[in-house]
Homo-oligomer: A and B are copies of this chain.
């Protein structure tokens, strides 16, 4: 079969990860070496960059800097949270995308993101196809939330999990250094899925870490929380708690909203904006414990952006898989595959290995994979062995981050716009 020839666009979307640029590197390096691809274009801030005709010519970049993308956090092409309308209602954006695709003869389009990005990708694929424009459209997964369906795990998760586990070990040792009683609440990203919060449980296995772990998969009850904390405090005087930002009560009310006077802002996708939960819960525990005459040092720690951008603590397994996902997406598209997302299927056996397969974008779009109930303990406040068996391989291996002058040397792109050439 003759390969489709033309330009390629790759864009990044949604919250960055430590390894999202490794995926772009994998795709771009493969494309730069392929005779099928005339131009390799990086979209500035995802879909927005295509709509605005802001496209970087990746051939103008130093190959060494492209190689450094492997260890550079945050979306190096720029990310976005732009949501496409439904084409049936309003196809303005789609027509514009088609115009730009035609302008540059774009025949390969790759979108590197989470659920919402796969939805975007699926919609673009459908529109191009309906309009008879031949273009191979592929999704490259990334998310620290690890909540994409039809894949064993998502690039970005392993590194964030390794960072969370390591940081919880370090904080776990520090928080109890005084031996005078402490209650530490650590807040971890995850609106609806608790995969990353669950990884904090690794810290306890290998040293110090959370005694209690609350995921959004389980209903959170404030009275149970206080009684859980008190029970452990009475036993060992130092308590560490990990909570997902998105924990909710049995009525579906965010616990963070208990402590907030104003309605929470929402992002472009209608997700509530989170924050401040750890400090609120820590203060709440403090208020309850003070009345019980317990004097504990109380701390709320929010891992905030650090958990998704700490490339210095990236997992080598994750880096390699993220790179592979980008390269596999290109190779599949070049061989004629379209409208798919790269997924990982874990092979059976004692030694960890994953096969790459292609799954339908439409099946991934807007679906959410949650932590199975049977991997959470009966009380809903801790993780069980099957989860640890699942997560352990994903955090293995250390980064080979280049350090210059004592700090990381991240990739620096020239970002030369195609339209300016």
Binding site for B on A (CB under 8 A): 16, 44-45, 72-76, 78-81, 162, 165-167, 169-171, 173-180, 202-203, 206-207, 275-276, 279, 299, 301-302, 304-306, 308-313, 315, 392, 395-398, 403-410, 412
Q: How far is the CA of A313 from the CA of B179 in the complex (A)?
A: 25
- The listed residue (B72, B179, B276) touching A45 by CB distance below 8 A is B179
Which one of B169, B299, B408, B410 lies within 8 Å of A407 (CB-CB)? B169
Question: How many chain copies?
Answer: 2
Q: Determine if A74 and B166 form an interchain contact, defined as CB atoms under 8 angstroms apart.
A: no
Please judge, given known A-B contacts A75-B177, A313-B312, whether A306 and B406 are in contact too, CB under 8 Å: no
Q: Which chain B residues border A275 with CB–CB below 8 Å?
A: 279
- Set of chain B residues within 8 Å of A75, measured between Cβ atoms: 177
Contacts A165-B406, A398-B403 known; A74 to B170 CB distance under 8 Å?
yes
Which residues from B are CB-within-8-Å of A309? 170-171, 173-174
In the complex, the answer to whether B80 meets A178 with C-beta atoms within 8 Å is yes
Give the nearest-CB partner of A171 in chain B. B305
Cα of A309 to Cα of B240 in the assembled complex, Å? 16
Q: Decide if A174 touches B299 in the complex (CB within 8 Å).
A: no
In-complex Cβ contact of A177 among B78, B162, B203, B302 (8 A): B78
Distance in angstroms between the alpha carbons of A170 and B305 in the assembled complex: 9
Q: A72 and B173: CB pair below 8 A?
A: yes
Q: Looking at the assembled complex, report how far the CB atom of A290 sits from the nearest CB atom of chain B, in whole angstroms.
A: 11
A306 contact set on B, CB distance < 8 A:
167, 170-171, 301, 306
CB-defined contacts of A180 to chain B, threshold 8 Å: 80
